[in-house]
Chains A and B, each alone.
Chain A
Amino acid sequence: MRSALRHTSVERWSRGVSPLHFMDARAKLVVLLVFLTAVATTSKHVPWIYGGYFVLLGAAIFMARLPVLAMLSRAAWVLPFSAIFAAMTWWAGDFAAALVLIVKSFLSILAALTLAASTPWTRLLDALLFLRVPRPLLLVIQFLARYLFVVADQVAHMRQAAYSRGGARSAQAFQAAAGAVGVLFARSWERADGIYQAMLARGFTGRFPAPSAVPFLARDAIFLCLSIAATVLVRLAL
């Protein structure tokens, strides 16, 4: 039981109020991409640069008024995976590369987490649209996110029902699980039918209405330029 639970805190944080929350999502997304590129292209021979990246991220997290420890522990999810490869790299004789592997993956996750935790996901989808991600794909993500919890709740209920009938450990459990997938699929299909009927009933014309344009303000431009400048400076170790 992994994803759905983790989803809750980030979703809650994303509805917070802070200077970073108010920044335009497009600006934040571009800054994230620049930051991730900078981190990805930094070599292992300049460890002090990574300190600079941590400072930048710390500033962002502070600006977003996010709980630092909770954020760090969420980002730490990747560490076991990275640790394995880091161990291999170290064993192959390259300690610097091993350390850098861990640091890079942690920094990258923390950065993506900061974006997600400071941006309502509807704004994030609009930002992706701005980056030319195909509109139908984004609409699918929109519906996915809308019904994710609803369907996850169904699974939780089914699990409860199965446990109350002692079904967890019997030999039939494999078939029961397959049956659960089948039922879930059927209900999801019917749900999609119901949604389509509801869309038609309110005059769906074949195209979803376009979202209203969000203005890009001066403060967003300033944030964008300063953040990119800071990242580039750190990257080039100036």
Chain B
Amino acid sequence: MKSGAPVIDIRALRYRYPDGTLALDGIDFQLDPGECVAVFGANGSGKTTFVLHLNGLLRGEGSVEVCGLRMDGALKAGALAAIRTRVGLVFQNSDEQLFMPTVLADVAFGVANMGVPPKQAALKAQQALEQVRMASAAAKAPYHLSAGEKRRVALAGVLAMQPEILVLDEPTTSLDPPGQRELVRLLRQLPQAKILVTHDVDFAAALATRAVFFERGRIAADGDVHAIIEQFHWSRGSE
């Protein structure tokens, strides 16, 4: 992969739900290596639908290229699996993401799916847990963790696969201010390109320099994060 080439290159993406509603109406989007982009928009504007196209959970019309791998038409057998190791998606609902009986087993899940034998998978999982400062929770059941801890473990589960792109969907949901600060601190240290779908403007501004604004399935604006916030009156204090 040439350095400098975008890690995500999407052109004219359209997606229609099974019931016919048009969720995405021609999306053009590029992401450079190491870049951090915030995704704003009202509920139902297509943010989450868009993000689900990045690792092939949804497939629409148009051209989608992730880390140099194209995702249109018929995919070869291992192609989706390869894409999913490159794009780490952290879902909004941590309970649905941490589905294994212990924290360690869950973080190792993605690694094990890549064909890594159990012992090495456990080792990588432990390393990822250390990265998010949750190493002591390895043997715990996810039920006993707080929202912030679950979020960090979910992140570890994705980091263990060593992706090139991190996509986080509403990552500050249910987090108290210390939890949010911890997440910001953590994400700042990670070199991957990041996409942050969020309503939390302060969180976005702390991490991203660029933002896109979704409106009814289209990208209405794409530019500097503060300018976008200003343009759409997107902060909590605006009238």
Contacts and interface: CB of A to CB of B under 8 A. Distances in A.
A–B proximity contact (CB within 8 A) = yes
Interface of A: 121-122, 142-143, 145-147, 149-150, 191, 194-195, 197-205, 209-212
Nearest to A191: B96
A203 B84 CA distance: 6
Nearest to A143: B99
Contacts of B93: 194
B100 A201 contact: no
A146 B113 contact: no
B234 interface: no
Contacts of B161: 202-203
Which of the listed residues A145, A204, A209 has the most CB atoms from chain B within 10 Å of its own CB? Answer: A209
Interface stretch (B27-35, B115-123, B129-137, B208-216): B115-123
Nearest to B113: A203
B15 interface: no
Interface string B89-102: 10101011101111
A227 B201 CA distance: 63
Contacts of B113: 202-205, 209
Contacts of A204: 113
Nearest to B161: A202
B122 A197 contact: no
Contacts of B96: 191, 194-195, 197-198
A146 B110 contact: no
Given A198-B91, A209-B109, A203 B143 contact: no
Contacts, number: 72
Contacts of A201: 55, 57, 84, 89, 91
B81 interface: yes
Report the contact-size class of chain B (Cβ under 8 Å from the partner).
20 to 34
Given A145-B101, A197-B91, A209-B118, A202 B81 contact: no
Contact of A205 (B81, B118, B122, B141): B81
Contact of B142 (A146, A205, A209, A212): A146
B157 A146 contact: no
Nearest to A11: B141
Contact of A202 (B52, B118, B119, B158): B158
Nearest to A205: B113
B91 A194 contact: yes
A165 to B, nearest CB: 25
Given A150-B143, A204-B113, A198 B99 contact: yes
Contacts of A209: 108-109, 112-113, 118, 121
Contacts of A203: 81, 84-85, 110, 113-114, 161
B143 A149 contact: yes
A202 B109 contact: yes
Contacts of A212: 118-119, 122
A195 B143 CA distance: 15
A149 B91 CA distance: 21
Interface string B56-99: 01000000000000000000000001001100010101011101
Contacts of A191: 95-96
A146 B106 CA distance: 12
A198 B100 CA distance: 11
A211 to B, nearest CB: 7
Nearest to A142: B101
Interface in B136-176: 141-143, 157-158, 161
